[in-house]
């Protein structure tokens, strides 16, 4: 049976802790009543030492066990935290032991969820590094300040990235609990729990108003500026417009933004719009043209340029990267240009290959990689999130003056098969020689759908060939020296004979 642990952490929001406990307990009952069998999960409340949990208001709540007593679990849910006297989430350093416990269970396969500011504890655990995440929008800047390697999405209500689920909003623990039920127990259990939620809980509570005073806890000017840019939506917004909306001059706007985030007004507006576009790319099926307009860009071309500047990849490649990142490994890429997914058995076969295997999508800008097997990760030192959405050329670093690259570009342009050896560089900068075999894949109608890449690490072979050439050169040099020495007496005798004849004459 699925075990879901609600983590009681000192300083948490009592309403979030109790709400999660009550909702999951009642959801179990609703599922049992609806199906006639026991619910497929049970809930355990736990604290670091098994003692009562003291929330941020000083109230005490009983728990069933300690973290140490939980040998295994399927999911862990962290409630939000009560702000400190300065209005910010409390320091998470005092919860290092809890963070380590959460990190350990996540490494063993548990899904970990955090409601609102509970994401800060996941940051302490190192589980937000390189991950897309969210938290209450008025805490976004603080989250980025404490954990710069996190990738928060402003305005997103729920995000899962590799078994880390984060939510935003005062009642976001409801969405989090339903999501965990769906992932752990299936769609039907989640549907019953959701129906129960609508019937028993007040739906209006989920639309609770968030007081502006929360935004002022971080930087009121910056928060208000972000709100104005985001609410402008598809409306064109200049630095002058933003200054007017903030009831200030352009000069003051420039000075305050430089102080708050080190950006000029134009850069600030572009960054916020790109962040909005990222969220839409992850959650919306809109075309790039529609999405660019929704995010406030004047045209698709400027959107593409700006997005690439901030994100390092094209919007279409980012959408593919985000989709792959959130899919299970066994459903990594599409066989056709539709929703059909590659079977699990084929992914297992590719992952068992002794050579690197990639698929690149020619229908997307810059032909990004949309699939890479485990051997490719081992060969290059990069992980999936650093590979997907990028063109293979990133492996060449600055070493672009290679004869094989010219042949490769021409073959790709003409949709032809080719095999070349290139100088590539691993993530740690180490050189390796890559024997790259590129094969264009076509569908039944003859349309190009992917480029299949097979990579062979031939570094030892190249070095062996170089050593053989060097040995041959040395042997030829030695042979030449030997011949010169053998020829020297003959030359001396010839010179002596020539001198004698000259004297006789």
Positive/negative CA dihedral, 57, 62, 67, 73? negative
Q: Where in the chain is the domain with CATH 3.30.450.20?
A: 329-457
Q: For residue 339, what pLDDT is reported?
A: 35
The span from the CA of 332 to the CA of 354, in Å, is 19
Domain 329-457: which CATH class? alpha beta
Are 97 and 9 in contact, with CB atoms under 8 Å apart? no
Cβ–Cβ contacts within 10 Å for residue 208, how many? 11
Residue pair 292/270 in contact (Cβ under 8 Å)? The answer is: no
61 phi and psi angles, rounded to 5 deg: -130, 135
Locate 486 and state its tokens.
């053998």
Contact assessment for residue 393 and residue 321, using Cβ atoms and an 8 Å cutoff: no
Contact 299, 276 (CB under 8 A): no
Helix (H, G, I), strand (E, B) or coil at 424: strand
Q: Based on the number of CB atoms within 10 Å of its own CB, is 474 exposed (0-12), middle (13-18) or buried (19 or more)?
A: exposed
In degrees, rounded to 5, the angle at the alpha carbon of residue 116 between the alpha carbons of residues 114 and 119 is: 50
User: Pseudo-torsion of CA 55, 58, 61, 67, nearest 10°?
Assistant: 50
pLDDT at residue 11, rounded to an integer: 93
Q: Residue 473 CB: number of other CB atoms within 10 A?
A: 10
Question: For residue 214, with 0-12 CB atoms within 10 Å meaning exposed, 13-18 middle and 19 or more buried, which class applies?
Answer: middle
What is the distance between the alpha carbons of residues 228 and 222, in angstroms, rounded to a whole number? Answer: 10
CB neighbourhood size of 156 (10 A):
19
Q: Which residues, at least 6 apart from 482, have a Cβ–Cβ distance to it below 8 Å? A: none
- Spatial neighbors of 182 by CB under 8 A, at least 6 apart, are 189, 190
Rounded to two decimals, the pTM is 0.53
Whole-angstrom CA distances from 73 to 25, 42, 62, 472 are 17, 10, 20, 63
Top-tier CATH class for 219-311: mainly alpha
The predicted structure's pLDDT at residue 395: 93
The pLDDT score that the predictor gives to residue 388 is 82
Tens-digit pLDDT profile for residues 45-100: 999 999 999 998 899 999 999 999 998 999 999 999 998 887 788 999 999 999 99
Cα Rg of the chain (Å, integer): 31
Nearby residues of 81 by Cβ (< 8 Å), 6 or more positions away: 9, 11, 12, 13, 56, 89, 90, 117, 118, 120, 121
Q: Is 381 helix (H, G, I), strand (E, B) or coil?
A: coil
Give the containing element (helix H, strand E) for 436: strand 431-442
Q: How far is residue 178 from each of residues 162, 184, 194, measured CA to CA in Å? A: 18, 10, 7
Are the C-beta atoms of 297 and 344 separated by less than 8 Å? no
To the nearest whole percent, how much of the chain has pLDDT over 70? 82
CATH 1.10.10.60 intervals, the chain: 219-311
Q: Give the dihedral of Cα atoms 67, 73, 77, 78; nearest 10 deg.
A: 20
Which option is the CATH number for 2-207: 1.10.10.60, 3.90.380.10, 3.40.50.880, 3.30.70.120? 3.40.50.880
Which stretches in the chain have pLDDT values below 50?
Answer: 202-218, 328-343
Which DSSP string do the residues of 245-257 spell out, in sequence order? HTTS-HHHHHHHH
Tokens read off for 97:
């032991």
**Residue 8 forms beta bridges with which residues?**
47
Tokens for 267, please give them: 């850069």
Distance CA 279, CA 156 (A): 7
CA quadruple 212, 216, 217, 219: dihedral sign: positive
Task: Using alpha carbons, list the distances in angstroms from residue 190 to 110, 171, 183, 427.
Answer: 18, 18, 9, 41
Residues of the chain with CATH 3.40.50.880: 2-207
Residues 6+ apart with CB under 8 A from 246: 221, 224, 225, 228, 253
Closest CA to 20 of 2, 1, 45, 41: 45
Return the SS3 of 41.
strand
């Amino acid at each position: 049976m699925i075990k879901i642990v609600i983590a009681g952490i000192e300083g948490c929001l009592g309403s979030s802790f109790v709400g999660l406990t009550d909702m999951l307990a009642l959801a179990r009952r609703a599922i049992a009543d609806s199906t006639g069998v026991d619910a497929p999960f049970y809930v355990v409340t736990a604290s670091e030492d098994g003692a009562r949990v003291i929330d941020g208001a000083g109230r005490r709540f009983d728990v069933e066990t300690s973290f140490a007593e939980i040998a295994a679990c399927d999911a862990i849910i962290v409630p939000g935290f009560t702000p400190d006297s300065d209005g910010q989430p409390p320091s998470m350093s005092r919860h290092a032991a809890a963070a380590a416990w959460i990190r350990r269970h996540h490494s063993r396969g548990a899904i970990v969820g955090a409601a609102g500011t509970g994401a800060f504890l996941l940051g302490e655990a190192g589980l937000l590094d390189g991950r897309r995440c969210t938290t209450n929008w008025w805490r976004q800047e603080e989250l980025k300040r404490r954990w710069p390697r996190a990738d928060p999405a402003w305005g997103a209500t729920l995000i899962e990235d590799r078994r880390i689920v984060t939510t935003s909003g005062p009642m976001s623990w409801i969405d989090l609990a339903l999501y965990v039920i769906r992932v752990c127990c299936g769609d039907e259990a989640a549907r019953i729990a959701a129906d129960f939620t609508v019937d028993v809980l007040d739906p209006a509570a989920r639309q609770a108003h968030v007081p502006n005073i929360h935004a002022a806890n971080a930087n009121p000017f910056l928060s208000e500026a972000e709100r104005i840019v985001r609410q402008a939506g598809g409306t064109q917004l200049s630095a002058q417009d933003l200054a007017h909306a903030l009831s200030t001059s352009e000069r003051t706007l420039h000075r305050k933004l430089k102080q708050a985030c080190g950006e000029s007004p134009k850069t600030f507006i572009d960054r916020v719009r790109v962040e909005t576009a990222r969220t839409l790319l992850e959650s919306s099926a809109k075309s790039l043209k529609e999405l660019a307009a929704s995010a406030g860009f004047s045209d698709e071309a400027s959107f593409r340029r700006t997005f690439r500047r901030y994100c390092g990849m094209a919007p279409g490649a980012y959408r593919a990267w985000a989709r792959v990142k959130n899919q299970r490994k066994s459903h990594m890429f599409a066989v056709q240009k539709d929703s059909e997914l590659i079977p699990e058995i084929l992914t297992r076969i590719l992952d068992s290959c002794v050579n690197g295997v990639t698929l690149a999508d020619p229908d997307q800008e810059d032909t990004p990689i949309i699939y890479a097997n485990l051997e490719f990760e081992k060969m290059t030192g990069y992980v999936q999130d650093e590979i997907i959405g990028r063109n293979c050329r990133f492996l060449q670093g600055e070493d672009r003056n290679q004869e094989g690259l010219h042949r490769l570009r021409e073959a790709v342009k003409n949709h032809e098969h080719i095999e070349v050896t290139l100088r590539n560089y691993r993530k740690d900068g180490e050189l390796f020689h890559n024997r790259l075999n590129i094969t264009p894949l076509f569908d039944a109608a003859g349309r190009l759908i992917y480029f299949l890449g097979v990579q062979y690490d031939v570094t030892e072979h190249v070095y062996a060939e170089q050593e053989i050439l060097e040995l041959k050169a040395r042997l030829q040099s030695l042979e030449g020296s030997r011949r010169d020495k053998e020829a020297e007496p003959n030359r001396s005798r010839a010179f002596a004979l020539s001198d004698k004849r000259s004297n006789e004459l």
